[in-house]
Amino acid sequence: MAVGAPTLVGPALAAAGAVTPEEMTLGSAKAPVTVVAYASASCPHCADFNNTVFPVFKKKYIDTGKVRYVFREYLTDPVDVAAAGFIVARCAGPDHYFQILDAFFHGQARMYQTGDVMGALAQAGAVAGLSKAQVQACVSDVNAIDAANLRSAINGTEHGVSGTPTFDINGSRLPPMTREIGLADLDAAIEPLLSARGRR
Each residue's pLDDT tens digit, 47-106 = 999 999 999 999 999 999 999 999 999 999 999 999 999 999 999 999 999 999 999 999
Residues 70 and 72: their CA atoms lie apart, in Å, by 7
Average pLDDT, the chain: 91
Tally of CA atoms within 13 A in the half-sphere of 29 that contains its CB: 6
Angle made by CA atoms 35, 197, 98, in degrees to the nearest 5: 25
Residues 6+ apart with CB under 8 A from 137: none
Binned at pLDDT 50, 70 and 90, residue 12 comes out as very low
Kindly compute the dihedral angle of the four CA atoms of residues 79, 10, 28, 23, in this order, to the nearest 10 degrees: -30
14-56 residue pLDDT tens: 344 578 888 999 999 999 999 999 999 999 999 999 999 999 9
Domains in the chain, CATH or no CATH each: 14-196 (3.40.30.10)
